[in-house]
Amino acid sequence: MKTIKISILNIIWGAIIFTLGFSIGAYGAEQKISDSSTVRATQKPAGGTSKSAKYVLAPNLIGKTRAQAERDLTKAGLKPGKVLFQKSGKGQPYTVVKQIPTARKRVPVGSKVDLWILRAQASPKTGIHKISTAKRPPRIVQRGKKVYLEFSSPVQNVTIKDKKGRRLQHFNKGSRFDITTSAVKVKAQKINIAYQFVPSKGSPPPPPSPVTHTIDLSHSQYGIDLSAIESTKKVEKAVKPGKDIPRFDVNDTAIESAEPGNNSISGAPLVTHGLYSGEVGGSNDGQDYIRVTAGAGGFGTLISTAVFNGDVHAALWNPQGNFVTGFSQTVYIAIEPNVSVYFSVTPKTAGGTKPYTISVYTKTLVDDNEPNGFYWNATALNVTWEIPLTGMLVNVEDASGGSKVDFDFFKIYLNTRRKIRITVKNVELPGAGGFDLYVYEPNNMNNWVVHDWGTGQITLDVDLTTLYTSSNFPSGNWIVYLKPRTWPKTHDKVTAPKCYRSAGYEIRGSIVP
């Protein structure tokens, strides 16, 4: 009986020892897994992979930018999943504040990791300026015969569209914009607004995606009186270029009151943007002249005229009173600031007086990046936040008839080898000549490093990690040079090219993971 008891005790003690040993071994195995990114035995550090690995530990992405997080996922053998944006939360704006799977979680190689990125700073404790669309909404106000869109701080790249997505107006930068034209075109109904904030000093850059609003102008809170606007301004369908500009009430007196002095250039009345009527022909009225002066701002002014409602045609005369081009329905010229040019209206056929209407369209050719016509005053292109810039490639005449072309230079600061991408789109140059895009080293404009050309859009990838080593990489401002292969004409007897009439091209730089 004693012998049996001893055997039972031995069995019990053996089972206890075996259980303890197994638990300690399992704890050691668990520790080994937590200290390595792979489940199988490997000496790779956290986040690394090997050919024999089937699982990895998800890296900690909290606090990193989207580009940094996606690079870390690629290094770990994982893939970026959904990218969602939060309006509030703790952390730095435009960094990862949440991830699924969470950090250090064991996942199969090739799995996707979803990211949540903080779009605005919710907590003032960090001391970072909060960009909040809720606290800074735009206002719609009517003052007399004008309707304005007003912001409490500067914004940029403002676009107004109707409910079908057709663009009505575009503004580059400011805090107050005249949207009377848009209000009339939609008959004081719904408009869609898109814009970006201009960051104040010490605040983070704005997100690359624009802020959007839909505003119903018919709402009683705005009090838009459309009849007060339409008494002086009408939006109607007209021949080119009238379809690109708001139609005004026809001025019946500006030209007729200048008779008979306007039969010569010296007696030409000064007119501005609008519609004018007159009569020409007969024994004592062979032609009517008008004078238009370019504005004081911008790179220059586009001045375009179109005659209709009459058996007449128009011609363009330079500041010295010499014939330039015309005897057509439409004539345009892009001229430097503060210079006057002349247009004449003459009958197409002889016999009798010819009543007519002429539209005068003026547009200031504004490029907010100017002056950036030389590499030493290039505009900074932000590749970290991927903020797009707009520009214009235009060609204007000076007072003597010479050309002033607008070259555009941008700069990207790099202090280490990176892969960058430069995208240019909406370059609406006439013809098929296209434009060139060059990238130069810092302080070396003798030889370009990368070059491409296109007709409307270019996406240029520049892999500086393969072109340079760490020892010979030149840090500093890399120069991006944009120029047309063939410059648009400064004047012609057709409708002005889109590069003059549109809001301009868009250029964007980014870091390629």
Whichever domain contains 72, its CATH number is 3.30.10.20
* 211 shares its domain with 93: no
Distance of alpha carbon 236 from the chain centroid:
29
Half-sphere exposure of 316 (CA within 13 A, CB side): 26
Nearest-angstrom CA–CA distance, 496 and 83: 43
Query: Quick check: is 149 in a domain?
Result: yes
CA distances (Å), 370 to each of 80, 391, 505, in order?
38, 9, 14
* 95 shares its domain with 188: no
pLDDT of residue 122: 38
Render each residue's pLDDT in the chain as its tens digit; 513 residues.
444 444 444 544 454 444 444 444 444 433 333 333 444 434 444 444 444 558 899 999 998 887 788 888 988 889 988 888 777 777 777 788 889 999 889 999 989 999 888 865 433 333 333 334 334 568 888 776 778 888 877 888 888 998 888 888 888 888 888 888 888 888 888 899 988 877 666 555 655 567 888 888 877 566 677 766 654 344 333 333 334 444 446 777 888 888 888 899 999 999 998 888 888 887 778 899 999 999 888 889 999 999 876 689 999 999 999 999 988 989 999 999 999 999 999 998 887 788 888 989 999 888 777 777 888 889 998 888 788 888 888 889 998 888 888 889 999 999 999 999 999 998 888 876 689 999 999 988 888 899 998 888 899 999 999 999 999 999 999 999 998 888 888 999 988 888 888 878 899 999 888
* 229 shares its domain with 246: no
332, 365, 398: which is the final residue of a domain?
Answer: 365
Nearest-angstrom CA–CA distance, 513 and 510: 9
* 381 shares its domain with 343: no
Domain of 309 in residue numbering reads as: 242-365
Nearest-angstrom CA–CA distance, 500 and 489: 10
Please state the length of the chain.
Answer: 513
Burial 198-229 (b: 16+ CB within 10 A, else e): bbeeebbbbbeebbeeebebeeeebebebeeb
Query: Quick check: is 44 in a domain?
Result: no
322, 341, 365: which is the final residue of a domain?
Answer: 365
What's the domain count of the chain?
4
DSSP character string of 155-177: EEEEEEEETTS-EEEEEEEEEEE
* 384 shares its domain with 482: yes
Query: Quick check: is 399 in a domain?
Result: yes
pLDDT of residue 384: 81
* 345 shares its domain with 460: no
* 302 shares its domain with 382: no
Cβ contacts of residue 475 below 8 Å, gap of 6+? 414, 415, 416, 442
**pTM of the predicted structure, to 2 decimals:** 0.52
* 230 shares its domain with 246: no
* 183 shares its domain with 73: no
Burial class (CB in 10 A: 0-12, 13-18, 19+), 84: exposed
Q: Which two tokens stand for residue 399?
A: 């007072």
Whichever domain contains 187, its CATH number is 2.60.40
* 175 shares its domain with 79: no
78 touches 113 (CB < 8 A) = yes
* 383 shares its domain with 498: yes
* 253 shares its domain with 306: yes
pLDDT of residue 468: 92
336, 365, 394: which is the final residue of a domain?
Answer: 365
Whichever domain contains 445, its CATH number is 2.60.120.380
